[in-house]
Structure 1
Amino acid sequence: MSQPESGGLSGRNCRADASASAHEHDEVLLQRNGPLACIILNRPKALNALTHDMIRSIAAALTEWADDDAVQTVLLTGSGDRALCAGGDIVSIYRDARTDPDENARFWADEYTLNAQIKRYPKPFVALMDRIVLGGGVGLSGHASHRVVTERTKLGMPETTIGFVPDVGGTYLYTRTPGELGTHLALTAATMTGADAIALGLADSFIDSARLESLVDDLKRMPAAAAITQLASPAPPAPLLTERVWIDECYAGADLPTIIGRLQQSPVSVARDAAKSILAKSPTAVTVTLEALRRARALDTLEDVLEQEYRVSLRMVAGHDVIEGIRAQVVDKDRNPSWQPSTLTAVSDADVQAHFAPLGERELRLPRAVTTDREHQPTERKATA
């Protein structure tokens, strides 16, 4: 069996004993070490991008461990030294949209169900959000009870770059950030630092990357909250907070052309750059994204938002721009997508609203759990081990 790439945590810290059932060539390694159960995303060459089988494996393991009294803490990490998870496997989404559209529906139904499962998990769930954490990686980690970032964290929702809309609960997380910071990040597909993630409510604790191995060792012998507290340090200043004045001024409201106009007329050069970034993206994707954010802000629970995102995801992938965006960015890599329609003014309100229409029998209906202290907004919740 091959060893995971060097630089990750899985090879030294999360390895189970000789009785472990996981094989190191599997896409997900499920390992036990005393009271600590580890989920190790194991596609390092693909930046641990998620496949459908990986989602099913994680969900099944979490279900089993929830009823196992020997498991006290669950840890999520990734193999290799480049990413926790760079998102879903978009090449598979591209292929399935052309050959088996129902598979994308099944993929998102299982992924969003897993996101909700993580949010409601009855045991401490520690996510090591080190290095690249994008898209589906945010869905796995951003809803955890204990979210740890480092000085190397690079986190974001890049969906509008490929003509898609933030999902996996991304519109839930981004609408619960201070002011309009989440709106800016969603529309531009910009990334944030670990310090930003804490300031915006997408993470809880800052630990220097050099201390992560010590954290994993401590998780084997003490409650999660205590292990994190003794190694955490104050987060550095959050760069995004210094931009909040112009962001709040420019992104207020639900009319995208007005937002673009404010950005273009701003005396702040970064604001004008944001306008250029948004205008380079799919007009349909950014317009639907803004509507999704405004609607998500009014929804109470993650489940409500995930069900909305499911409607939007199915409508988006059935259209033109998602497939074209993946083609341009990942398949042909010409970075020259041909969006249809090609301008914001050509995207009608009726077209936007159609993305949110009920799906009838195809609706995603997530179970609702009894409300606990984990229902608090990300910036308020104080999970305990």
Structure 2
Amino acid sequence: MLVQRSIQRLHLVFRHVKMRPSYCTTVAAAEDDVLFNTVGSTGVVTLNRPKALNALDLSMIRKIHPRLVTWESDEKMKLVIMNSTGEKAFCAGGDIRAVTEAGKVGGKLSKDFFFEEYILNNKIGTYKLPYVAIIDGITMGGGVGLSVHGMFRVATERTVFAMPETGIGLFPDVGGGFFLPRLPGKLGIYLALTGFRLKGRDVHKAGVATHFVQSNKIPELEEALTSLKEPEKLDVESVLSAFQDQSEDIPDNDFILQPHLDQISSLFGGESVEEIFENLKSDGSEWALEQLATLEKMSPTSMKVTLRQLIEGESRTLQECLNVEYRISQRCCEDKDFYEGVRAVLVDRDQSPRWDPPTLAGVTQEKVDWYFSPLPAERELIL
């Protein structure tokens, strides 16, 4: 199937080059980390770091944002598609290892990366043209920011969605404070605190993706989208829905979390992380105790910051959420757990982070308040 998909993609490229010589232009070399193409009235952004699971770095951000701005102001452009190369990942996250290395020595990357990433997230969330993200493969962290705020998000059976930041001393950023509280019930809080992974059709059923299309139909889907003459939102939605209806080779099972949605709504509805812990203990079911065991591995500071972020984010705009999240990101870079989490998970990979403080009781209200406190005026992100 992998070979067939590669051949289909090549066929699609060659067909466009052959049939649309005056409309299809390639504006990047093959070795670039992002590729930009125009096919008729459609702009295509392709993440091109497959060996790094298309992890988003500052170089990519600084290429994608201005191109989206240019296309949005071009009357000839009617649609934007974001996809990726490789078979494993749409975008597995941001290049946070580089961010933490810079943060240790006071480098600018720890400031610039989040600042410019959130500006890009906001552009996608306010984009005037129909925007289709093909989230085929691992989609976490920075990859979520490139997709979830867009008008359309297409999952495949290979999609793996998660926001696992509490396990590395971070928090679900890239606008997580906006989209997670807007998922059904307390599902967003559950996903944010536990880092639970949604796969395939479940990404659609949870409301993270707007459509599901099996992966071997993606080249045909992209061709159908780029063939639209003057696409508007309803035209794009019609094409996506048609391909979703045709994606019958992948079993359509019940949502994996369906048996636990009532528990999630009640147990994760606490006003504090301590209350959620007590709810899980009181429930006592095998499932509840499994969730408790998962939470006990996470950064206590990150969990408290995350819960407040999501509770307050429910009444904030995307822009307000991103402004606040930039403050939190900088506090993470000034504190300890972010560095320790990256060390344990990504550098040494011993999976044994030593959180500071190590318990929920040790995370004071004053510390949580500090994470949300204003930065010096010249450092604030204002969207």
TM-score surpassing 0.5?
yes
1:109 aligns with 2:115: yes
Say which is worse superposed, 42-51 or 218-227, in terms of deviation: 218-227
1:102 Cα deviation after fit: 2.9
CA RMSD of superposed structures (Å): 1.9
Q: TM-score, normalised by structure 2?
A: 0.89
CA contact (8 A) 2:46 2:82 kept: yes
Equivalent residues, number: 361
Cα distance in 2 for partners of 1:227, 1:221 equals: 11
Cα distance in 2 for partners of 1:93, 1:230 equals: 41
Give the match for residue 303 of structure 1. Answer: 319
Give the match for residue 323 of structure 1. Answer: 339
Cα distance in 2 for partners of 1:157, 1:202 equals: 12
1:12 Cα deviation after fit: 4.9
CA contact (8 A) 2:100 2:110 kept: no
Aligned-partner SS, 1:173 = helix
Q: Partner letter of residue 382 of structure 2?
A: R
Q: Partner letter of residue 265 of structure 2?
A: D
Cα distance in 2 for partners of 1:268, 1:67 equals: 55
**Which residue of 274, 285, 304 corresponds with 1:287?**
304
Q: TM-score, normalised by structure 1?
A: 0.89
Give the match for residue 354 of structure 1. Answer: 370
Give the match for residue 65 of structure 1. Answer: 71
1:151 Cα deviation after fit: 2.1
Give the match for residue 333 of structure 1. Answer: 349
**Which residue of 207, 217, 221 corresponds with 1:211?**
217
Give the match for residue 263 of structure 1. Answer: 280
Cα distance in 2 for partners of 1:313, 1:263 equals: 29
Deviations 1:252-301 (A, max 9, x none): 122211211221232431221111111111111111111111111121x1
Aligned-partner SS, 1:30 = strand
Say which is worse superposed, 230-239 or 184-193, in terms of deviation: 230-239
Q: Partner letter of residue 108 of structure 1?
A: F
- 1:1-385 to 2 correspondences below 5 Å: 11-13=10-12, 17=17, 19-222=25-228, 223=231, 224-233=236-245, 236-299=253-316, 301-361=317-377, 362-366=379-383
Aligned-partner SS, 1:355 = helix
Cα distance in 2 for partners of 1:50, 1:204 equals: 22
Aligned-partner SS, 1:347 = coil
Q: Partner letter of residue 271 of structure 1?
A: A
Cα distance in 2 for partners of 1:12, 1:137 equals: 27
Aligned-partner SS, 1:239 = coil
1:198 Cα deviation after fit: 2.8
Q: Partner letter of residue 310 of structure 1?
A: Y
Aligned-partner SS, 2:149 = coil
Q: Partner letter of residue 238 of structure 1?
A: F
Cα distance in 1 for partners of 2:382, 2:72 equals: 22
Aligned-partner SS, 1:232 = helix
Cα distance in 2 for partners of 1:114, 1:302 equals: 12
CA contact (8 A) 1:161 1:282 kept: yes
- Identity of matched residues, %: 36
CA contact (8 A) 1:97 1:317 kept: yes
Deviations 1:225-276 (A, max 9, x none): 2321221128653222331111111111222112112212324312211111
Give structure 2 stretches of 5+ with no counterpart: none
Pick closer, same or farther for the CA change 1:11–1:304 going to 2, 3 Å: farther
Pick closer, same or farther for the CA change 1:303–1:72 going to 2, 3 Å: same
Cα distance in 1 for partners of 2:361, 2:100 equals: 27
Cα distance in 1 for partners of 2:184, 2:151 equals: 20
Cα distance in 2 for partners of 1:77, 1:191 equals: 21
Cα distance in 2 for partners of 1:94, 1:289 equals: 19
Cα distance in 1 for partners of 2:54, 2:368 equals: 33
Aligned-partner SS, 2:182 = coil
1:322 Cα deviation after fit: 0.3
Moved over 6 A (4+): none
Deviations 1:61-88 (A, max 9, x none): 1011112222221111111000100010
Pick closer, same or farther for the CA change 1:281–1:158 going to 2, 3 Å: same
Give structure 1 stretches of 5+ with no counterpart: 367-385
Cα distance in 1 for partners of 2:11, 2:340 equals: 42
Cα distance in 1 for partners of 2:33, 2:157 equals: 27
1:358 Cα deviation after fit: 1.3
CA contact (8 A) 1:59 1:114 kept: yes
Cα distance in 2 for partners of 1:351, 1:220 equals: 50
